[in-house]
Amino acid sequence: MCGRYTLGKPLKAIESHFGPLHINLEYRSSYNIAPSQLSPVVINNSEQRELTAMKWGLVPSWARDEKMKLINARSETAHEKPSFKNSLRRQRCLIPADGFIEWRGTEKQPCYIYLKDQALFGFAGLFSTWKNPEGLSLNTYSILTTEANEKLSPIHARMPVILPAEQYETWLAPDSSLDVLRGLLTAYPSEEFGFHTVSKEVNSPKNNLPEILQSL
């Protein structure tokens, strides 16, 4: 499960990490990215990587309306699910982030999780284009998840799939085989992560300042 994440780094840092990129959005840092919001994703567009905005919550191309919003996709079964299998084969993306939030225990205490070196990283993502009856397109995405690693499993049983930078090209390449792609969808190593508890102010997407991520 991944229900919130952060992207506070400047645009130049994102371009340096994922680029070279064609920038096709107005970028703003965000410290509490929530489902249904427009957020940056990296796609291959005519053999060039592009940073563009899509709405978080995948609406399958065949959906009757846009009410179906799938924010996460289980990596173990995405290849066989009608909502995700075509996207896994043809519409893959990277989702830039520098942290994510999970809720621990019955008290639902939010924990902010990040790489120890505070670096940018990319979630493995799927996207889809849905058209309304008037022919207007809506581009949406979902974050792939897997079983949590040893360090994060006490917080939540699932975690988003984070791809090492050396796997970005394979993930985005249009000719990557399904077997190769599925082999990338594993838990990121435990030793790379740090985390701390944060205020329950993150429960509201209206709270979107870096202060809400301070350790309690």
3-class DSSP string for 40-74:
EEEEEECCEEEEEEEEECECCCCCCCCCCCECEEE
Rounded Cα distance between 121 and 163, Å, is 7
Rounded Cα distance between 139 and 60, Å, is 10
| Model confidence pTM above 0.85 | yes
- Poorest-pLDDT segment among 44-53, 88-97, 153-162: 44-53
Location of structure tokens 């949406």: 140
Q: Is the pLDDT of residue 114 over 70?
A: yes
Handedness of CA 29, 54, 161, 185 (dihedral sign): negative
Print burial letters for 12-25: b (CB count within 10 Å at least 16), e (below 16): eebbebbeebeeee
CB 128 within 8 A of CB 87: yes
Location of structure tokens 């360090």: 151
How far is CA 100 from each of CA 125, 161, 182, rounded to the nearest angstrom?
Answer: 15, 12, 23
- Chain centroid to CA 179: 21
SS3 letters across 100-133: EEEEECCCCEEEEEEECCCCCEEEEEEEEEEECC
Average the pLDDT over 157-171 and give the result.
Answer: 97
Q: Is the pLDDT of residue 1 over 90?
A: no
4-101+118-190: CATH, from 3.90.1170.40, 3.90.1680.10, 1.10.3720.10, 3.40.50.300: 3.90.1680.10
Rounded Cα distance between 172 and 117, Å, is 25
Give the residue numbers annotated as catalytic, written as ranges.
2, 102
Q: Is the pLDDT of residue 47 over 80?
A: no
The DSSP letter of residue 154 is T
Average the pLDDT over 160-168 and give the result.
Answer: 98
For the chain, domain boundaries = 4-101+118-190
Among residues of the chain, what percentage have pLDDT more than 90?
Answer: 92
Average the pLDDT over 112-119 and give the result.
Answer: 97
